């Protein structure tokens, strides 16, 4: 019996059960059940692109926790280091409802959840030899003191082991204030190689909250980060290193659902990085995977496999037989 190859990417965070409404929640109606979480969205995206990826975290000892683990396993994500909580903490829950066009409202029910209780002891064993990238988000440290401790411990351990540390700021105003976010995220810069953020998130990792984009990027690079990738939504993205900036326009698609686009972008970018692609090629893959996300419903359901990356280059109306 052969031993499975070690994962290339390790990530952890809270993955929740996701109930998706077709209209306003207050009017009732049917709900679709799936799972969602920024880190597991990235993990699924990478797995579909053929990479070995591990997700660590905690789920409740309930049917929704079983759904999370079953879904990740079915998508080819390594869950050997996932923990089923042995207390009465439940699996977290989120509700999404479309409100205006592609504007979606999200409600969280994650206080006291199993996922929020993640600790260093849960995640450090997942950083096994062979890992090349540790992917973190700014969502996890917002969940609890133990979760914040886990993020810092993992980043420190990975950096010392020569593992590339990627931090997607991914600020959630419903989870914490900008001041609390800045206090927790700023120390992570000392252990981060690749920082990914939207334009308005860049100042959150600096001690100068009023810095403009250029000043923020300069300050982040000065703190020891090797590369800063700025997500601009429909206007594309920019990568900045000590050698200069590289821009890439977004792919033009009819947007259906914007939720999950940022995670899809990250999956594409990390995939290119793992493949040894240069920055323009990494950005191209990232905006392509993001386009798949916005053109389909769900956080991760529409993400492409590697052989589907070229579908956007087909003429409109093409039928593949």
Closest listed residue to residue 92, CA positions, set 117, 127, 121, 56 = 117
Structure tokens given for 244: 């200069």
Burial (CB count within 10 angstroms: exposed 0-12, middle 13-18, buried 19+), residue 221: middle
Say how far apart CA 162 and CA 25 lie, in whole Å. Answer: 47
Q: Give the DSSP letter string of 182-221.
A: HHHHGGGGGG-SEEEEEGGGGGGGSS-TT--HHHHHHHHH
CA dihedral (12, 66, 48, 4) in degrees, to 10, reads 80
Query: Which residue among 263, 299, 307, 313 is the active-site one?
Result: 263
Instruction: Evaluate whether 68 touches 35 at the Cβ level (below 8 Å).
Output: yes
Query: For this structure, is 263 an active site residue?
Result: yes
CA-only gyration radius of the chain, Å: 19
| DSSP symbol at 93 | E
List the catalytic residues: 263
């Amino acid at each position: 019996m052969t031993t499975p190859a070690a994962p290339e990417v390790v990530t952890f965070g809270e993955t929740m059960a996701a109930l998706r409404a077709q209209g306003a929640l207050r009017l009732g109606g049917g709900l679709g059940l799936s799972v969602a979480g920024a880190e597991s969205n990235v993990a699924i995206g990478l797995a579909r692109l053929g990479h070995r990826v591990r997700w660590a975290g905690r789920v409740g000892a309930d049917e929704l926790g079983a759904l999370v683990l079953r879904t990740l396993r079915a998508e080819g994500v390594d869950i050997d280091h996932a923990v089923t909580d042995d207390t009465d903490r439940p699996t977290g829950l989120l509700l999404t409802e479309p409100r205006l066009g592609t504007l979606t409202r999200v409600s969280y029910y994650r206080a006291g959840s199993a996922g929020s209780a993640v600790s260093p002891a849960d995640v450090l064993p997942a950083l096994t030899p062979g890992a090349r990238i540790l992917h973190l988000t700014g969502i996890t440290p917002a969940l609890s003191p133990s979760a914040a401790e886990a993020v810092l411990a993992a980043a420190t351990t990975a950096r010392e082991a020569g593992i590339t540390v990627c931090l997607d700021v991914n600020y959630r105003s419903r989870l914490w204030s900008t001041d609390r976010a800045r206090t927790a995220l700023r120390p992570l810069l000392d252990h981060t190689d690749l920082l990914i953020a939207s334009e308005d998130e860049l100042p959150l990792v600096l001690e100068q909250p009023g810095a403009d984009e250029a000043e923020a990027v300069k300050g982040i690079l000065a703190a020891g980060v090797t590369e800063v990738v700025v997500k601009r939504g429909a206007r594309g993205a920019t990568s900045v290193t000590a050698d200069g900036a590289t821009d890439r326009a977004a792919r033009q698609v009819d947007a259906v659902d914007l939720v999950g686009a940022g995670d899809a972008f990250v999956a594409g970018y990390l995939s290119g990085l793992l493949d040894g692609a240069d920055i323009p090629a990494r950005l191209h893959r990232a905006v392509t995977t993001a386009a798949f996300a916005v053109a389909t419903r769900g956080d991760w359901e529409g993400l492409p496999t590697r052989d589907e990356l070229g579908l956007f280059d087909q003429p409109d109306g093409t039928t593949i037989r």
